């Protein structure tokens, strides 16, 4: 069973919007901080956004602040990323990732398989 | 802006040892940065290798080890094998929910 499955990627025009979804299974979703991490073609990993288990706090990379909104629905075991004002620089594979912790110490695990977002006219 | 530095590429002979490092453009990496390491083969999602500086994730062979070397986090591969040839990323937790990844190291086994 794959614990994190992303969907919603596709081709969108510059300036457009898209909503990504991540379906979680096999763990108590609401107990975990969740994240989006992206990877542009041929490039490295970039942390995009995080949200606490209760949605009380949300965090964003400077590159997406004001354009992207992270949200979650714990009743549906789902994580979302609402993306607005998209540009070519947002073209990337977007991964849904759980934050695991040991006391105060966090790390990413597991990773979803990703959903590809392409911004092009 | 915080920049996390990694060697762009390293090579190792089969059976050899290679150490990848993860540094900060300003300052030192310590255990308080909670360094973690991720492995990515082409076309695949990343896989967690090391967390909490030196703890191996489930199923990760013990030829992978993490540490702090001087002012950097380090990932050492001992007894390199052909399937170790891929990309490796470190991540540092900056606090307040913010993370920064290094640029990644491409390891070649030859």
pLDDT tens-digit map of B47-68: 999 999 999 999 999 999 999 9
The pLDDT tens digits of the residues spanning A25-76 come to 999 999 999 999 999 999 999 999 999 999 999 999 999 999 999 999 999 9
**CB distance B52–A102 less than 8 Å?**
yes
Mean pLDDT of B23-50: 93
The pLDDT tens digits of the residues spanning B13-29 come to 999 999 999 999 888 98
**CB distance B97–A45 less than 8 Å?**
no
d(CA A95, CA B54): 24
**CB distance B45–A108 less than 8 Å?**
no
pLDDT class of A96 with cuts at 50, 70, 90: very high
The beta-carbon neighbor of A45 closest among B1, B46, B98 is: B46
CA distance B106 to chain A (A): 11
Does A1 have pLDDT greater than 90?
no
Per-residue confidence (pLDDT) for residue B27, from 0 to 100: 86
The beta-carbon neighbor of A47 closest among B51, B52, B101 is: B101
Pair type for strands B64-69 and B55-56? unpaired
Per-residue confidence (pLDDT) for residue B1, from 0 to 100: 81
Q: Which of B46, B47, B106 is most worth mutating to test chain A (most A CB atoms within 10 A of its CB)?
A: B46
DSSP assignment string, A80-116: EEEE-S--GGG-EEEEEEEEEEETTEEEEEEE---EE
CA distance B56 to chain A (A): 12
């Amino acid at each position: 069973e794959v614990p994190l499955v992303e969907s919603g990627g596709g081709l969108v025009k510059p300036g457009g919007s898209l909503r990504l979804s991540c379906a979680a299974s096999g763990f108590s979703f609401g107990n975990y901080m969740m994240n989006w991490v992206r990877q542009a073609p041929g490039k490295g990993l970039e942390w995009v956004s995080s949200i606490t288990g209760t949605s009380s706090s949300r965090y964003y990379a400077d590159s997406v602040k004001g354009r992207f909104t992270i949200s979650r629905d714990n009743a549906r075991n789902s994580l979302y990323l609402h993306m607005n004002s998209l540009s070519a620089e947002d073209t990337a594979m977007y991964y849904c990732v759980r934050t695991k912790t040991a006391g105060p110490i966090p790390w990413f695990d597991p990773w979803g398989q990703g959903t590809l977002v392409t911004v092009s006219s | 802006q915080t920049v996390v530095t990694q060697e762009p590429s390293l090579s190792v002979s089969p059976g050899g040892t290679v150490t990848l490092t993860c540094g900060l453009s300003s300052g030192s990496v310590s255990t308080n940065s909670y360094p973690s390491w991720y492995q990515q083969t082409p076309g695949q999602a990343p896989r967690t290798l090391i967390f909490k500086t030196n703890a191996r994730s489930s199923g990760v062979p013990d030829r992978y080890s993490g540490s702090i070397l001087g002012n950097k986090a380090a990932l050492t591969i001992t007894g390199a094998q052909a399937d170790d040839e891929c990309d490796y990323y470190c991540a540092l937790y900056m606090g307040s929910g913010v993370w920064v990844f290094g640029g990644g190291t491409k390891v070649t086994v030859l």
